[in-house]
Structure 1
Amino acid sequence: MNSDLTVLDNPVAESLLAAHAHLARRAGQAATYLPGVATFCALPTEPGPADWADLARLLGHGGFADMFSNTALPPADWEPVFELEGRQMLWRGGHPTGEPRPADGVSLVELGPDDVPEMLDLVERAEPGPFGTRTRELGTYLGIRARGTLVAMAGERLRPPGWTEISAVCTAPEARGQGHAARLVSALVARILSGGEQPFLHVAEANAGAIALYERLGFKTRAAVTFRGFRTP
């Protein structure tokens, strides 16, 4: 296990500085992803007024600043958009048990550019969280097809040094209860480990079912986090 946990305290900034630098827009020490990739913004852990001003210039008037789990609060004239309690979980070993075997006609596949329309349709129906037209560029995305139709997916998102986040875990309403999420997460864990990195993820505190699944698959809670979003003045 990578002993450097500090990069997980500000994973968006660490990702944009390293593995995702080619997907970043910058102004001073402020950064965000290119349009369509992700809405997450990054600032130093303890930003000053100049840093918030740089981010405001980067996003433009009324721009959406998705601060992810950064604990810093913006100036008073930034409009709050959302606040969501969650947790950060790290994979500590283990394996799924008791998952049903895939039915006939069900296959696990790697998703590519041609699959984006189906991925966006699945996201709209399953609502796993933010996902744009270019989000799949953040890493590898895997899907489960049932007789050719995409019914579940999960993929790699943030990439702070030594770590890879699993995200966008979702299953179409009509295909739930068949073990698809467990198979996808397990496949991604194996892939991440084979690349020499460690898996982690974030989950909303209210999603008790997902938390229980991740714990069964070997994830343990590292920290409580609060996700926040704002609009620039």
Structure 2
Amino acid sequence: MRDPRQSLAETLRQIDSLLGDGRGRDEVLDVQQLSIDCGVPQGVVEMLLKGRRPPAEDIIDRIIRRIAHLRETRRRPDGSRHSYDEIASSFGATRASLSNLVNGRRSPRGPAQPAPEARRRPARSGGPLASTQAGVERFFFGEPNGWLSAEPESALNAALQPVLAGLRTTAGSDCQDSRAMALRTAASLPDDEWELVERFINTLVRQVREERGRHG
């Protein structure tokens, strides 16, 4: 499996290369929306975009924090939050079990600082937490997809893919527009000027073939 940091760095390199016209990432990346989409705090998103490592986070704290994040950011059409009872009953759990899970590890100071080994704890270690994670993801996304437990780098990388796809589409459209303009320009040339262009192209093709032949 590819390292999440390398994958994120590659996505950011591709975004930078597609911008390539003096624009910066801040003109196309909405940090607040990325935070909502990936469940990574906005400050951590900013760190990751700068190539810095995120702070360590216990995997259970991450899952619980993102469950609360989903309730805040993926609301009903009327703007109200989905209830614990509504979410829990969708996968055969009780309201109390889900509510206690989310609220039981919270404190006024936020999540406790994890030990170094806590961050490496498997995301799906079995038991009630694994079934709860799968159930919550199915409720909000239609299927279990690992969103609640994904490393910050992987989560942000996934949220960046629509941005990357949009830039590629725009770049492709610009390229097609340029080709179409070039064809229209060539078609409008007088015969004598077109003959000059044609001879130039033929000469260029011949020179390239000769160059390849010398290095073949």
Range into which the TM-score falls when normalised by the shorter chain: under 0.3
- Larger relative strand fraction: 1
TM-score, normalised via structure 2 length: 0.26
- Larger relative helix fraction: 2
Greater Rg over alpha carbons, structure: 2
TM-score, normalised via structure 1 length: 0.25
